[in-house]
Amino acid sequence: MNTALRDNAPVVAMRGVSKSYRLGAVLVSALHAADVAVSRGEMVALTGPSGSGKSTLLHIAGLIDTADSGNYLLAGTATTQLDEARRTQLRRNAIGFIFQSFNLVPVMTVAENVEYPLFLDGISSSEARERVAAMLARVGLADRAKHRPDELSGGQRQRVAIARALVKQPRLLIADEPTANLDSHTADEVIAVIRELCHEAGTACLIATHDARLTAHCDRVLALRDGVLQ
Amino acid sequence: MNALKWIGFALRNTLRNRRRSLATVTLTALGSAAILIGGGFALYTYESLQQAAARDTGHLIVATKDFFDREEDTPMQFGIEHFDKLRDTLLANREVRYVLPRLNFSGLISNGDKSVVMIGSGVDPQAEFSVRGPFLTLKSGQLLNEDSAKGPDVLIGAELAKSLKVEPGSALTLLGSTTAGALNAIDVKVRGIVSSGVPDIDKRLVLTSLATAQGLLVTDKVSSVGVYLADMELTAATRAKLAPQLGALATRTWEEEAFFYKAVRGLYDRIFGGLGLVIGLIVVGVVAGAMAMAIVERTREIGTLRAMGTSPGQLVRAFAIEGAALGASGGLLGALVAGGVSIALVFANLQMPPPPGRSVGYPLYVSFSPELALITLAAVSLLAMISAAVVARIAVKKPIVEALGHV
Ligand SMILES: Nc1ncnc2c1ncn2[C@@H]1O[C@H](COP(=O)(O)OP(=O)(O)O)[C@@H](O)[C@H]1O
Ligand SMILES: [Mg+2]
């Protein structure tokens, strides 16, 4: 199986992707026959009320969940048949995650949190140190490198999470309601940082959000309702 | 470098819930200390019994093959001739310190009014008592000396002395059968009253010079020869070295003849082995429980790390390091506690009650064996590591999305 990522293919190419959950006797369709395409450097917002399937779509796109049916090519690579080890490797190489509640590792310093993906990739620590310092400077946290996450504000923590997600320059950034825990001013700052870094590096972004002001920053908006793309 | 980083993160994680880690380390330390103290007591007991057995028989016992394997039809049938020559041969070896003849005899001992059964030994009247050391106590009178053959003098066991109502200086008669089967009697004087610490032995014990015993049995043979070496460790090597010098004679080691030592060792090995097993299980339970709690608390973090591309194997290894760190800290602390107890007991001078069948107690000491401490430390660390890994293996298999949704 050829799993080499291709530069000229769309980063995300989903066709007819469906996922349903069994709740007792009934089958709940969380995502129905979704067709999604996101190209390099494109920032796509995913909107819809709570329970409409945004997270489900992001989990499948981020290779942390599997679809029941349909096809998903990540940068030209068919992902449907891959085993867990390959999916883990693809996540490590090609996908960055930003979570609603930051999910930083509390025993690691800010710098170590950002360095972690490089460490997983086996990048030498001297190179990693440089890239981490550069990344922290970009998100405006150069002076917080030695701090622990619990010494930071919410906005600062999310900026650390952005640095962590983008330090390895992934093909795809998955952000599930990244501003939901932040006040509107901080949310604006965070979105601006994501946008700037992704456009610069050509990273494709899929961002789930309720926030109308956030969607205004995006290149395109996909609306979901009851698992169906409108 | 990578390994060091994983270890660093694991160590920091052990400090996340200090109270729980402290409880885990404390319980593991108590378990390790219990193994080391119990094992140390057993080791001390083994060493004491080895000493006692070796001083009693000699490190090596030389006799004819038949003496070891068969019962005699007449006294001294399987005895050794030309003891003096044999002694010179043995003493020519550097490792050999003493060569002591033993002549076993039995018969009656009488005070004129009353006769009781005796079990006697004819021994080297001087050297015998220097090797016995603390394992034969003189209750009254004096030990045998080079003039004892002329008296002739005997030492008798404390219980026997009580039964015959004698004290040092009293006259007694020994009755026994000669090698030819005739009855023989000699008059002797009580020189001292001794105790072996075992009342059943003291009830029949008679020690006399080899010459006196040979006179009673009318023989110039000896039953067996105790060979005392410079060091217990030399036993096996010396046995092999002596074999070609001994012709038709056979040797046994002190251990082969130390039935009490072997019985105690068999019992203690099982008791303390069982104790070790139980404590090992407790350590497994304690560490597995603590790690299970830690892992459940960190479910969302596990999901996050998995999403970022950490492999399940890497996470299991990280948790295994964490478990091993807890186990190793407990093991080290336990070794310190056991070492402290071992030292404290030397100063405390506690006395254990006499074991069954004995009349004297013995001091309570616990040997501290660095070897046993290392083995225990390694075992406890390994058990802790394995139980953490097993618990973690179950946890990291949880679907990532579920783990991320965990609160
Ligand atoms: N693990 C699950 N088990 C059962 N139902 C689920 C599960 N995850 C999501 N769902 C259901 O799937 C639908 C879509 O959920 P989700 O993708 O989380 O929506 P959103 O992120 O837009 O709020 C909802 O009806 C939700 O109840
Ligand atoms: Mg959601």
Number of the ligand closest to the Cα of A176: 2
Chain A nearest CA to B51, separation (Å) = 56
pLDDT confidence bin for B294, thresholds 50/70/90 = very high
Question: For A64, which of B9, B310, B401 is closest by C-beta distance?
Answer: B401
CATH number at residue A168: 3.40.50.300
The per-residue pLDDT for B72 is 85
Identify all chain A residues contacting B399, using CB atoms and an 8 Å cutoff.
Answer: 65
Cα dihedral B379, B385, B391, B394 in deg (nearest 10): -120
Question: Does A217 map to a domain?
Answer: yes
Please give the helix or strand (H or E) that residue B187 lies within, else none: strand B183-195
End-to-end CA distance of chain A, in Å? 34
- Longest CA pairwise span in chain B (Å): 100
For residue A100, give the nearest of A139, A133, A58 by alpha carbon: A58
Q: Does A102 touch chain B (CB under 8 A)?
A: no
Q: Does A119 touch chain B (CB under 8 A)?
A: yes
Distance CA B302, CA B313 (A): 12
How many domains in chain A? 1
Chain A nearest CA to B286, separation (Å) = 23
For residue A141, give the nearest of A170, A169, A111, A103 by alpha carbon: A111
A97 vs B12: CB contact, 8 Å cut-off?
no
Please give the helix or strand (H or E) that residue B292 lies within, else none: helix B259-297
Question: For B308, which of A59, A91, A125 is closest by C-beta distance?
Answer: A91
B308 vs A64: CB contact, 8 Å cut-off?
no
Sheet strand arrangement including A43-47: A95-98, A172-176, A204-208, A43-47, A220-225, A228-229
Name, in order, each residue with C-beta under 8 angstroms of B324's C-beta and a sequence gap of 6 or more. Answer: B381, B382, B384, B385, B388
- Outline where DSSP puts E strands in B325-397: 351-352, 362-363
pLDDT confidence bin for A2, thresholds 50/70/90 = very low
Averaged pLDDT for residues B314-339: 96
Mean pLDDT score of chain A, rounded to an integer? Answer: 93
pTM of the model: 0.82
- Confidence check: pLDDT of B407 > 80: no
Question: Does A197 map to a domain?
Answer: yes
Number of the ligand closest to the Cα of B401: 1
Each residue's pLDDT tens digit, A53-108? 999 999 999 999 999 999 999 999 999 999 999 999 999 999 999 999 999 999 99
Ranges of H-type helices in A15-109: 54-61, 84-94
- Outline where DSSP puts E strands in chain A: 12-23, 26-38, 43-47, 69-74, 77-78, 95-98, 172-176, 204-208, 220-225, 228-229
The per-residue pLDDT for B5 is 87
Chain B nearest CA to A120, separation (Å) = 7
Distance CA B122, CA B143 (A): 13
Question: Does A3 map to a domain?
Answer: no
Which amino acid, one-letter code, is at A82? L
pLDDT confidence bin for A1, thresholds 50/70/90 = very low
Nearest atom (ligand 1) to Cα of A59: 17
Identify all chain A residues contacting B13, using CB atoms and an 8 Å cutoff.
Answer: 107
Task: Tell me if B385 sits within 8 A of B323, measured CB to CB.
Answer: yes
- Outline where DSSP puts E strands in A24-110: 26-38, 43-47, 69-74, 77-78, 95-98
For residue A37, the cross-strand partners are A13
- Confidence check: pLDDT of B295 > 70: yes
Each residue's pLDDT tens digit, B1-46? 578 889 999 999 999 999 999 999 999 999 999 999 999 999 999 9
Q: Which residue of B has its CA nearest to A84?
A: B311
pLDDT confidence bin for B48, thresholds 50/70/90 = confident
- Confidence check: pLDDT of B100 > 80: yes
Averaged pLDDT for residues B282-294: 91
Contact A124 CB / ligand 1 (< 6 Å): no
For residue B156, the cross-strand partners are B193, B206
Identify all chain A residues contacting B16, using CB atoms and an 8 Å cutoff.
Answer: 106-107
Task: Tell me if A67 sits within 8 A of A60, measured CB to CB.
Answer: yes
Contact A48 CB / ligand 1 (< 6 Å): yes
CA dihedral sign of residues A159, A165, A166, A171 = negative
Name, in order, each residue with C-beta under 8 angstroms of B270's C-beta and a sequence gap of 6 or more. Answer: none
- Residue numbers of the domain that contains A98: 41-65+83-229
Contact A178 CB / ligand 1 (< 6 Å): no
Chain B nearest CA to A221, separation (Å) = 24
pLDDT confidence bin for B344, thresholds 50/70/90 = very high
Question: Does A61 map to a domain?
Answer: yes
CA distances from A178 to A101, A158, A209, B90 (A): 8, 8, 8, 91
The per-residue pLDDT for A3 is 57
Each residue's pLDDT tens digit, A135-182? 999 999 999 999 999 999 999 999 999 999 999 999 999 999 999 999
Q: Does A21 touch chain B (CB under 8 A)?
A: no
Identify all chain B residues contacting A119, using CB atoms and an 8 Å cutoff.
Answer: 2, 5
Q: Which of B1, B2, B315, B404 to mutate to test the interface with A (most CBs of A within 10 A)?
A: B404
Question: Does A13 map to a domain?
Answer: no
Domain boundaries, chain B: 2-52+261-404, 104-222
Contact A23 CB / ligand 1 (< 6 Å): yes
